[in-house]
Amino acid sequence: MKYASQKVAYAYFVVAMGLFAIQVLGGLLAGWIYVAPNTLSELLPFNIIRMIHTNALIVWLLLGFFGAAYYLVPEESEREIYSVKLAYLQLIILVVGTLGAVASYLVGIHGGREFLEQPLWVKFGILVAAVIFLVNISLTVLAGRRTAITNVLLTGLWLLSLLWIFAFINPSNLSLDKMYWWFIVHLWVEGTWELVMASILAFLMLKLTGVDREVIEKWLYVIVATALFSGILGTGHHFYWIGLPEYWQWVGSIFSTFEVVPFFAMMSFAFIMVWKGRRNHPNKAALLWSLGAATVAFFGAGVWGFLHTLHGVNYYTHGTQVTAAHGHLAFYGAYVALNLAMFTYAMPVLLGRSPYNQVLNMCSFWLMTGGMAFMTFVLTFAGTIQTHMQRVVGDYYMDVQDTLEIFYLMRFGAGVAVVLGALLFLYSQLVPQREIVEPGDEAAAPERGQA
C-alpha cells in the first residue's frame, strides 16, 4: 500500500462482502421457494425475498466500485485521497440506508418499481452519498496525475450518479415510467458500469501483467468507445413491447448485436495482456478472477444477451426464464467476478502481507463459476420449454411452470454450489492464515513411502 488513505477501501470491501453473503443466501431461499412454494409464503413472501436478493446485489457491487475507486485513484493520481473522513461518512450513510431499506422491506414498506424499491429517504441518502463520493474522488483526481484509467472510471461514476436522478422520476403513465426506468437499469449495467468495469480491469492488468501503460490505456479507450457506441442505442432492445414506437425493434436489434463487441474485446484484451506481460505476479488468484470475469462476462452478457436480443426472437422469449438465465450469468461474470478480482488483488495489500489462501480462493472461483454456469444452462432449458409451450402453443403460465419442476430443482442444486463457493471465498478473504509455512529442508525429508 503506497498511500495511507487507500486503507478506506478495506472498510468498503468488508461491508460489500457482508452484503454479498446476504445476497446469495436470499437467492438460495428464493430458489428453494420455486421448489417448495409454501415455504414462508405468509411470513416472508417471494416478492420481499427477491427484493432483498436484487437490492443487496446492487448495493454491494456499488460498494465494491466505490472501494475500488478509493483504492486505485491514489495510486493513479499519485496522492492521498482528498478527505478520508468524507469517505467514511459516505460509507456510513450507505450502510444506514441499506439496513434501513432491508428493515422496511421486512415490515412491508417499499416502492414497486423493480430494483428501485427503496423508500424515498434511502434514495436521497444514496444521492447524498454519491455526491460526497464524486466530490471527494474528483478533487483527488484533479489535483494529481491524470491517467486514462481515472478518466474513464470518473466518467463512468459521474454518469451513473447523474442517471440516479431518474430514480425520483416516476410518471403515472406506465409506458413512460418503463421508458425512464430503463435509463437507470440499462444505462447502468450496459453503459456506465461497463466503463467502471473496463477501467478496473485495465488497472488490474497494469498491476498483474506489467504491460506498458500506453498500450493498456489506448485499448481501454477503444473498449469503452465500443461499449457506449453500442450500449446507448442498444437500450432499444428494452423498448420493443412496452408501448414505444416500432422503430426501436430495428434500432435495438442492430445496436444491441454490437453490444457483444466490448465484452469480446475485454476478454481478448485480458488474455493478450497476460500473454504479452512478463511480470510473474504472486497473486495468482487475482489473475484467475480477472481472466474469469472477462470470460464469463463475454458469455453471460455477450452470448446469452445476443441469444434473445433480436426482436424476432425476443417477441417469444421476452419475460421468460431465458431472461433469468442471461441476467444471472451476466451479472456474475461482468460485475460480481470483477469485484471479487479486485478484492482478491487488494485485500493482501491492504493488510500489508503477501497473497494468502490462494488455493481456497481459486477453489471458490471454480465452485461459484461452475454453479453459475450450470444454473444458466438449466434456466435456459426451462426458458426454451416455457417459450415453446406458453408463447407458441399457448398453454397457460401455471400449467407450463408445473412441467418445469425438474429444472428448478437442478437450479437449486446449482445455487447450493454458488453459496458454498461464496462462503469459501469470504473465508479465504476474511480469515488470513496466521502462520506462514516455511519451506523445510528438502534433504532431511523422508523419501516417499518411507515416512
Subset of 247-266 contacting another protein (CB under 8 A) = 247-249, 251
Task: Tell me how crowded residue 38 is: count the other CB atoms within 10 A of its CB.
Answer: 7
Our finding on whether 212 is near another protein (CB under 8 A) is no
Question: Which residues touch 364 (CB under 8 Å, ≥6 apart)?
Answer: 421, 422, 424, 425, 428
Q: For residues 196 and 335, what is the distance between their CA atoms, to the nearest angstrom?
A: 10
Specify the residue, 352 or 394, whose C-beta has the smaller distance to another protein: 394
Specify the residue, 161 or 323, whose C-beta has the smaller distance to another protein: 323
Closest alpha carbon to 9 in 446, 429, 392: 429
Specify the residue, 222 or 272, whose C-beta has the smaller distance to another protein: 222
Q: For residues 278 and 307, what is the distance between their CA atoms, to the nearest angstrom?
A: 37
Q: Which residues in 281-300 contact another protein (CB under 8 A)? A: none
**Please, what is the end-to-end C-alpha distance for the chain in angstroms?**
43
Specify the residue, 290 or 390, whose C-beta has the smaller distance to another protein: 390
Q: For residues 3 and 405, what is the distance between their CA atoms, to the nearest angstrom?
A: 54
**H or E stretch covering 21:** helix 8-35
C-alpha cell at 218: 489506448
- Selected binder of another protein within 4, 41, 120, 403 (CB under 8 A): 41
Our finding on whether 435 is near another protein (CB under 8 A) is no
In the stretch 162-181, what mask flags binding to another protein with x, by CB under 8 A? ----------xxxxxxxx--
Our finding on whether 142 is near another protein (CB under 8 A) is no
- Selected binder of another protein within 241, 258, 299, 374 (CB under 8 A): 241
Place of cell 478480482: 341
Q: For residues 223 and 243, what is the distance between their CA atoms, to the nearest angstrom?
A: 33
Our finding on whether 244 is near another protein (CB under 8 A) is yes
Least Cβ distance, residue 261 to another protein (angstroms):
13
Least Cβ distance, residue 264 to another protein (angstroms):
17
- The single-letter code of the amino acid at 262 is P
DSSP per-residue letters across 25-67: HHHHHHHHHHHSTTTTTTTS-HHHHHHHHHHHHHHHHHHHHHH
Secondary structure letter of residue 435 according to DSSP: S
b/e per residue 84-122 (b: at least 16 CB within 10 A): bebbeebbebbbebbebbbebbeeeebbebebbbbbeeb
Least Cβ distance, residue 318 to another protein (angstroms):
4
Our finding on whether 313 is near another protein (CB under 8 A) is no
Our finding on whether 48 is near another protein (CB under 8 A) is yes
Our finding on whether 321 is near another protein (CB under 8 A) is yes
- Selected binder of another protein within 243, 276, 431, 432 (CB under 8 A): 243
- Selected binder of another protein within 319, 351, 363, 388 (CB under 8 A): 319
- Selected binder of another protein within 37, 78, 103, 106 (CB under 8 A): 37
Our finding on whether 32 is near another protein (CB under 8 A) is no
Specify the residue, 144 or 319, whose C-beta has the smaller distance to another protein: 319
Q: Which residues in 391-410 contact another protein (CB under 8 A)? A: 391-392, 394-398, 401
Closest alpha carbon to 4 in 431, 352, 343: 352
Our finding on whether 194 is near another protein (CB under 8 A) is no
Least Cβ distance, residue 161 to another protein (angstroms):
16
Q: Which stretch binds another protein (CB under 8 A): 261-269, 282-290, 388-396, 418-426?
A: 388-396
- Selected binder of another protein within 25, 28, 51, 266 (CB under 8 A): 51
Specify the residue, 185 or 338, whose C-beta has the smaller distance to another protein: 185
Q: For residues 160 and 183, what is the distance between their CA atoms, to the nearest angstrom?
A: 10
Residue 417 contacts residue 370 (beta carbons within 8 Å): yes
Specify the residue, 118 or 344, whose C-beta has the smaller distance to another protein: 118
Least Cβ distance, residue 24 to another protein (angstroms):
18
Specify the residue, 7 or 113, whose C-beta has the smaller distance to another protein: 113
Closest alpha carbon to 229 in 269, 250, 256: 256
Tell me how far CA of residue 343 lies from CA of 69, 283, 340, 346, 385, in angstroms: 12, 12, 5, 5, 39
Q: Which stretch binds another protein (CB under 8 A): 16-24, 96-104, 217-225, 293-301?
A: 217-225
Specify the residue, 233 or 423, whose C-beta has the smaller distance to another protein: 233
Closest alpha carbon to 164 in 307, 12, 309, 58: 58
Least Cβ distance, residue 383 to another protein (angstroms):
9
